[in-house]
Chains A and B, each alone.
Chain A
């Protein structure tokens, strides 16, 4: 079926939005063309990144926050990312099940994505999927991802505001992720706050923020939530909105978006150049030759790369 995906997407066709994200994810040939057509229509949505350790209840929280935004009359897009098995390449994308109540709401579009091994590529694909939803006209776009590692940090860079979700009773796990979360969290949410240890966790978090040293104008708020009972949702939305207001008024948003635009452009550039060069080396059979020579210690990777760069990028 020859559907003009971008054109249909801009008309509000949900299947076209779905196919656009597939083209982005699968790096289909038409992906670039689609993005070219969509780009002028982007830049309107507010992007909220949600991250935290497995089992923190991020999907349930996303579900409730999405409903709260819907109550405000805003349309919502959700990109939910789950890890792909490095051994089989398969994945269980299990976030949607916690958002089943949103499926029949025409103002909500949920898309599950697997990390598919290439985390570097994923951040750029996620950013493009966000743009597709933005061009479609979504007011608020959630990017939900598991864990707080470097790769997730890259993914949440697509967000205007980043929320870190933690739960009490995680024991020593929290120690390991503390350093990372302080840097990326604009707002903190302590979910499952009816479980033992919630207040202790809040105290610990506050202490860490106190010790952070650097004087910051924005102190990330810490909100206790019981997502499955809808408690603390309103306050969480307020925190997010306050943060957005803060970054908007202080020029931080503009700065972040500039930074993001630059990174995205470089991402596209780097990946295209990389692909271009790799494809050529594979096609001419040079790649195998180089590998053999390097293996035999006749030359080294650095010399080879220098030569390739010189030859190809004239």
Chain B
């Protein structure tokens, strides 16, 4: 049997809209992943540290407040700096298309905007984990 993929589902920043994060967490579980959900209001430092302690393969973040240009890259930098080079880091939420190139440049592997089916996230993770 393949070892389950471990995913940290995190809500950086202050927004309390976790409908999407929770739906994704459940969908990932149903796809056979081990999901660790951090809850609301996590700082980038907390997310990176949880990713380290849990030795996850994927970090999936959701932001609806518009704070993504600041917070997403910060999480990427912290995770890379602690030596987790191959963790796949993805993001989602209310994110204007024009922001996406900069986020990808910063190391976010993919950005999932409203209306994305959860199966697309599962497929992306399965296709892109090294």
Task: Note whether A and B contact each other (Cβ less than 8 A).
Answer: yes
- A interface residues with partner B (beta carbon < 8 Å): 1, 14-15, 18-19, 21-22, 25-26, 84-85, 88-94, 96-97, 100, 103-104, 109-112, 114, 116
Q: Is B4 an interface residue (CB 8 A)?
A: yes
Chain A contacts for B84, CB-based, 8 A: 15
Q: List 11 A-B contacts (CB under 8 A).
A: A1-B85, A15-B82, A18-B52, A85-B30, A90-B32, A90-B33, A93-B36, A96-B50, A97-B38, A103-B46, A114-B4
- B interface residues with partner A (beta carbon < 8 Å): 1, 3-4, 25-26, 28-39, 42, 45-46, 49-50, 52-55, 82-85
- Would you call B29 and A88 a contact (CB within 8 A)? yes
Chain B contacts for A89, CB-based, 8 A: 1, 4, 32
- Would you call B29 and A85 a contact (CB within 8 A)? yes
Q: Which 3 A-B pairs have the closest CB atoms?
A: A90-B29, A18-B55, A89-B32
Give the complex CA separation of A60 and B32 in angstroms.
27
A111 with B83, Cβ < 8 A, contacts A90-B28, A90-B30, A93-B36 known: no
Interface of A is mostly: mixed
Chain A contacts for B3, CB-based, 8 A: 25-26
Interface centre among B1, B39, B52, B53 (most CB of A within 10 A): B53
Chain B contacts for A109, CB-based, 8 A: 53
Interface of B is mostly: mixed
- Would you call B35 and A92 a contact (CB within 8 A)? yes
Give the complex CA separation of A110 and B52 in angstroms.
10
Who on chain A is nearest to B39 by CB? A97
Chain A contacts for B29, CB-based, 8 A: 85, 88, 90-92
A97 with B37, Cβ < 8 A, contacts A15-B84, A18-B53 known: yes
Q: How far is the CB of A63 from chain B (nearest CB, A)?
A: 13
- Would you call B39 and A100 a contact (CB within 8 A)? yes
Give the complex CA separation of A85 and B47 in angstroms.
25
Who on chain B is nearest to A96 by CB? B36
Interface centre among B30, B55, B84 (most CB of A within 10 A): B55
- Would you call B42 and A104 a contact (CB within 8 A)? no
Give the complex CA separation of A114 and B49 in angstroms.
20
- Would you call A88 and B54 a contact (CB within 8 A)? no
Give the complex CA separation of A104 and B84 in angstroms.
18
Q: How far is the CB of A176 from chain B (nearest CB, A)?
A: 27
Chain B contacts for A21, CB-based, 8 A: 55
Interface centre among A15, A85, A103, A110 (most CB of B within 10 A): A103
Among candidates B4, B25, B54, residue contacting A92 with C-beta atoms closer than 8 Å:
B25
- Would you call A18 and B54 a contact (CB within 8 A)? yes
Among candidates A25, A88, A92, residue contacting B31 with C-beta atoms closer than 8 Å:
A88
- Would you call B35 and A111 a contact (CB within 8 A)? no
Q: How far is the CB of B2 from chain A (nearest CB, A)?
A: 9
Who on chain B is nearest to A105 by CB? B49
- Would you call A93 and B53 a contact (CB within 8 A)? no
Give the complex CA separation of A15 and B85 in angstroms.
12
Chain A contacts for B32, CB-based, 8 A: 88-90
Chain B contacts for A22, CB-based, 8 A: 55
Give the complex CA separation of A252 and B33 in angstroms.
41
- Would you call A15 and B54 a contact (CB within 8 A)? no
Q: How far is the CB of A84 from chain B (nearest CB, A)?
A: 8
Q: How far is the CB of B78 from chain A (nearest CB, A)?
A: 12
Chain A contacts for B50, CB-based, 8 A: 96, 103
Chain B contacts for A100, CB-based, 8 A: 38-39, 42, 46
Who on chain B is nearest to A113 by CB? B34
Give the complex CA separation of A84 and B33 in angstroms.
10
